[in-house]
Chains A and B, each alone.
Chain A
Amino acid sequence: MKRQFFDRLIDALLPLFAILLAFAIGALFLLWQGVNPLEAYKAMIVGAFGNKNGLADTLVKAVPLMLVALGIAIAFRGGMINIGAEGQIIVGALFTSWVGLQLGGGLPGWFIIIIGLISGAFMGGIWGLIPGFLKAKLGVNEILSTIMMNQIAIQIGFFLLRGPMIDPAEVAAGTNIPQSARLERIADMPRFTDMAKWFGFTESAKNLGLEGFTKEIYGLFVDPTRFHSGFIFAVVMAVLVYILLWRTTIGYRIRAVGLNRHAARYAGMNVKQTMVMSMTLSGAFAGLAGAVEILGLHHRMFEPVAVSAGYGFAGIVAALFGKLHPLGIIPSSILFGGLLVGGDKMQRAMQIPQVLIVAILGLVVLFVVSTDYLVKKRQNRRVSVTDGDDDLAIVEKMKESLKEAGADEEVDA
């Protein structure tokens, strides 16, 4: 037992060492730029986790990352690679804001929000369904189609935002910025500070005598920050995806197809249908991310790439950091969001080129995924590996693993 704990601890620490190694190399870059790396990294960590605004920024960023990563995880579990989250976010956000603008007129806010979320998921789902369908029926590789569909989504966004969806005020002012009008305020997903007010938490941290980090945590939930209820929504979604994948037939089928297409077919599953379904679900979650960004944060649609903002790719990283496990994705999104936010803060604090941070984060990603191998190798040493070449055996194994659903098993995508 104790032995196992230390093994697990070392496994858990390996990615941390990888991050430290990446930072050490990054430190050379920082030194080259004439910046004290220790101060820079301190600024990074404090910036991401050290105070209420940093925490708020990190968690706000974790929301789209989490939702996208959940979608990526579903696709990966189903044996598909979804590089199209960028486009799915865009169409989701577009449709959410369009629907949001059409509704209104006395409808209650919560209703608009729910319809908005559904709309985003719906449109994102369609954007995932198409490559899924193309792959299943016509053999068009999903990497190709999703990359192409990202560009198509961007252009559709520009088309709509310059024409049908443009804010009438932009036309009136003659500035013609490609953005929609603002959604009605009642359709804003509530921020934590709003919710605190509803529940009567208005006391300032000072009056409560809170100090240090406790004060910052208190401020995160009570003071006006951008931290919004989309975070709760995303966490709930993560739990739902966990249930979906490990407690339902659909989830079982998705994972079975992902593990071994031939075996799944042999077991009588409709593989093509399942592939389409996992891509659709994957797209729906990315679309949901777009919807939450609009309803919780931006409240209007603007330049498509500014909304998707690289979450489609960062989400892949968050998904893999979370071992493609819905519950692992929650902390990994927060961690990766924190890295991104902290990197930005470090850039501002030290006034170093922002691209330096991008380079360091690239190393972090490279090194962390490289530790997977070491973790697995250590696990292999502990657990004897059963041979699984036989298709039937795999199916049997999957059925077994389903029985102990919830077990934290590793799956090679």
Chain B
Amino acid sequence: MKKVLLMLALILMLALVACGGDEPAVEEVVEEPVVAEPTDAPEEVEVEPTEAAVEDVEAEADVEGLDSIRIAIVMPSTINDLAWSQALYDSLLRLQEKAGGEDAIELAYSENMFNVTDAAAAIRDYAADGYNVVIAHGTQYGTSLFEIAPDFPETTFAYGTSTNTGADEGIENIFAYEARAEEGGYVNGVLAAGLSESGIIGVVGPVEAGDAKLYIDGFVAGAMAANPNIQVNVSYTGSFGDTALAAEAANTHIAAGADVLTGSAQQVVGAISVAEEQGVVWMGTQSDQSSLAPETVVASQLYDWDGILSGILQKNQAGEYGNSAYALTLANNGLVMDFADSLDADAIAAAEEAAAAIAAGDIDVMAAIAGEVMETDDEAMMEYPEIAPVRVALVMPSTTTDLAWSQSMYDSLVVLQEYYGEDNFEIVFSENMFNVTDAAAAIRDYAADGYNIIIAHGAQYGSSLFEIAPDFPETSFAWGTTTNVGEAEGVTNVFAYDPRLEQGGYVSGVLAASLTESGIIGLVGPVDAGDAKLHVDGFVAGVRDTNPDVQVNVSFTGSFGDTALAAEAASTHIAAGADVLTGSAQQVVGAVGVAENAGVPWMGVQSDQTSLAPDTVVATVLYDWVPTLLGIITSNQAGEYGGLVYQLTLENGGQKMVYADSLPAEAVEAAQAAEAGIIDGSIEIVAEPRN
């Protein structure tokens, strides 16, 4: 007994010691340059920096008059990474040589500064040591830079990728730079489409963000523009330095038939050696990678920082320490395309034409990328209102990868974040919050941390929400499935959302009834309640209204996560003669697998499950939370913190039907007619009573 008390006392003491400081400083530790997303709207191709006018950079580095200037660079990887960091360092070496060696320009650098705290220390040290120009070569260093720069008003700081020079915060000595990697990506894409014989191109990306994402988006758009039938397989390794995985990704692409590869970040060295071994061509970006495999690296987009750097240096010497933003573009020769001579002349011609057109402004790469997006997700049809920066917290009962309820919400948030950029749209989340007490703690913490909108993604969180919400009157809370905004409890800052899944269920039912030949359809439900119940109700009604002779066998597993039992339920349905299956909740991944093995079509709900079995998932009722979320965000920013109920319906786009191309046209037509009927009100969904 005493022992335990003693132990507790010690723990408490520890806690007290720990409390001595402030709140825990949550330093963002980013492994590698995760570069901020461009905040421009996709339609705008003009680079419109948010803070300052982009300087027009002369391609020719002007080193005239540069003397005894001291430059320090803090970089996230190494000077020989053959990628992001090396491109900059090489430029500096060139300038140094031009300006007259080490006497004219002194260089110092810190490599592998993936810990931002360390980087901040390095930046401050360099500034204190009297370096004239301190370059922090990564977006992640921005926050630290803004803290440090005011202390050294006569030191020039530069960082990128960014367009924010901190002028808003009254900072005068920061330059921002960015590389419009999508431009060269587009050109490489055009070239790749011209070179590929198999019609398949592989892309080995690091993390789907920042510079890499720009390059790859541009690449895909270029390839598609040159040849709409080409297939570009994009894979991300999830890190910048995982050489082995990048090599593996390259192997995979080649196995999938790719005969042209590209990729970005320092990891690609692995992929290039694979490309060399397998005799396929590689297109590089950022730095010149042909040293690795001269025969294999046939095209490169090179970042030429000379112009930007000399501009910064000249300004520094002239007493202008910051306040401008630069961009590397094809037009200002900051991006240089380099093609191997061995290439097919027609392909090069097409690529060079594209490069010229981009430089001249005739090709709008951002619009081309947006066009791609529009074709695939048609999300671009949404009107995205202008919003102020917003911080959103999501508390969910399962995981962001559950292929069901939780993932549908998370995916929609990510869509918004991709549009508005990480700076303007922050997402945090807590997964597996099946314990309501924990969820309540999470909700309160997020509110106390100043998140603007807190989404409690489950009906079980309601009672906690109504307790917490009154304490944070200017925070918006949202929860569902429900229609209760807490009026009865006097709460004013809670939104409710309510997916009317019987609508999508009905449409799937109509489709299923048209597809079935055996006249039997199987449904694998979790628990007969909430939106799973609505799904069943609607589905059964849709089937009945289409063909009363078709029978729907409904079974429930009694839990949301029992994958194995859901699989067994699917087998049972098939054994009972079902030739179309559907079901809901995260458990159904098991059932989808069974359907795939048995060759039975599956109709998904909530989240897109095609990744599991592309040929099996023939239709999906997709929850699109984007309109709901935008409604909540705009209300919140207009000072209306709650009180509205959002329904997700077919009419308002909250539910979307996705049909596979393989479906027979009549079946899809019938389903679409049902969609129209539900939207115009001519179809009334009448549920049959069940047990």
Note whether A and B contact each other (Cβ less than 8 A). yes
Interface string of B1-31 (1 = CB under 8 A from A): 1111111101110111011010111110111
Interface string of A35-55 (1 = CB under 8 A from B): 110010011011111110100
Given contacts A50-B15, A173-B483, A175-B482, contact A309 B529 (CB under 8 A): no
- Is B4 touching A46 in the complex (CB atoms < 8 A)? no
Given the complex, which residues of A lie within 8 Å of B8, measured CB to CB? 331, 334-335
Given the complex, which residues of B lie within 8 Å of A331, measured CB to CB? 4-5, 7-8
Least distance between B315 CB and chain A CB atoms (Å) = 36
- Is B14 touching A162 in the complex (CB atoms < 8 A)? no
Given the complex, which residues of B lie within 8 Å of A178, measured CB to CB? 527, 529-530
- Is A34 touching B467 in the complex (CB atoms < 8 A)? no
Given the complex, which residues of A lie within 8 Å of B430, measured CB to CB? 344, 347-348, 354
- Is B11 touching A306 in the complex (CB atoms < 8 A)? no
Partner of B26, one of A39, A51, A328: A39
CA distance A300 to B65 in the complex (A): 77
- Is B431 touching A354 in the complex (CB atoms < 8 A)? yes
Given contacts A297-B437, A305-B434, contact A182 B463 (CB under 8 A): yes
State the interface size on chain B (CB cutoff 8 A). 67
Residue ID in chain A nearest B239 by CB atoms: A34
Q: Is B428 an interface residue (CB 8 A)?
A: yes
Partner of B444, one of A53, A328, A350: A53
Interface string of A53-95 (1 = CB under 8 A from B): 1000100110000000000000000000000000000000000
Partner of B459, one of A48, A302, A307, A335: A302
Least distance between A299 CB and chain B CB atoms (Å) = 5
Chosen A-B contacts, 29 in total, with CB atoms closer than 8 Å, are A12-B10, A16-B11, A34-B30, A39-B27, A45-B11, A45-B18, A46-B18, A48-B15, A49-B19, A50-B19, A53-B441, A53-B444, A158-B529, A169-B484, A175-B483, A175-B498, A176-B533, A177-B482, A177-B529, A305-B434, A306-B397, A310-B435, A325-B1, A332-B4, A340-B438, A348-B445, A349-B24, A351-B428, A408-B2
State the interface size on chain A (CB cutoff 8 A). 79
B-contacting residues of A (Cβ < 8 Å)? 8-9, 11-13, 15-16, 34-36, 39, 42-43, 45-51, 53, 57, 60-61, 154-155, 158, 161-162, 169, 173-179, 182, 212-213, 224, 226, 293, 297-300, 302-303, 305-307, 309-310, 321-323, 325, 327-328, 331-332, 334-335, 338, 340-341, 344-345, 347-351, 353-355, 375, 408
CA distance A322 to B4 in the complex (A): 7
Residue ID in chain A nearest B441 by CB atoms: A57
Given the complex, which residues of A lie within 8 Å of B498, measured CB to CB? 173, 175
- Is B436 touching A42 in the complex (CB atoms < 8 A)? no
CA distance A325 to B2 in the complex (A): 11
Least distance between B482 CB and chain A CB atoms (Å) = 6
Least distance between B469 CB and chain A CB atoms (Å) = 12
CA distance A175 to B16 in the complex (A): 46
Given the complex, which residues of B lie within 8 Å of A50, measured CB to CB? 15, 18-19
Least distance between A309 CB and chain B CB atoms (Å) = 4
Given the complex, which residues of B lie within 8 Å of A351, measured CB to CB? 428
Least distance between B584 CB and chain A CB atoms (Å) = 13
Interface string of B451-468 (1 = CB under 8 A from A): 000000001101110010
Given the complex, which residues of A lie within 8 Å of B533, measured CB to CB? 162, 176
CB neighbors of A among B443-494 (8 A) = 444-446, 448, 459-460, 462-464, 467, 471, 481-484
Given the complex, which residues of B lie within 8 Å of A408, measured CB to CB? 1-2
CB neighbors of A among B514-537 (8 A) = 527-531, 533-534
A-contacting residues of B (Cβ < 8 Å)? 1-8, 10-12, 14-16, 18-19, 21, 23-27, 29-31, 114-115, 117, 397, 428, 430-432, 434-438, 440-442, 444-446, 448, 459-460, 462-464, 467, 471, 481-484, 498, 500, 527-531, 533-534, 558-559
Given the complex, which residues of A lie within 8 Å of B442, measured CB to CB? 344, 348
CA distance A345 to B18 in the complex (A): 15
CA distance A299 to B462 in the complex (A): 11
- Is A226 touching B467 in the complex (CB atoms < 8 A)? yes
- Is A16 touching B18 in the complex (CB atoms < 8 A)? no
Least distance between B487 CB and chain A CB atoms (Å) = 12
Partner of B529, one of A8, A16, A161, A338: A161
Partner of B29, one of A34, A224, A306: A34
Least distance between B192 CB and chain A CB atoms (Å) = 33
The 6 closest A-B pairs by CB, nearest first: A309-B435, A49-B15, A12-B3, A177-B459, A178-B529, A12-B6
Given the complex, which residues of A lie within 8 Å of B434, measured CB to CB? 305-306, 309-310
Given contacts A12-B6, A348-B428, A349-B24, contact A341 B441 (CB under 8 A): yes
Least distance between A207 CB and chain B CB atoms (Å) = 19
CA distance A334 to B19 in the complex (A): 18
Least distance between B404 CB and chain A CB atoms (Å) = 15
Residue ID in chain B nearest A303 by CB atoms: B460
Given contacts A34-B31, A175-B530, contact A158 B437 (CB under 8 A): no
Given the complex, which residues of A lie within 8 Å of B432, measured CB to CB? 354-355
Question: A34-B29, A176-B530 are known contacts; what are 17 more A-B pairs with Cβ within 8 Å?
Answer: A45-B14, A46-B24, A51-B19, A61-B438, A158-B528, A158-B558, A173-B482, A173-B483, A177-B460, A226-B440, A297-B437, A299-B463, A302-B459, A302-B460, A322-B4, A327-B1, A335-B4
Given the complex, which residues of B lie within 8 Å of A340, measured CB to CB? 438
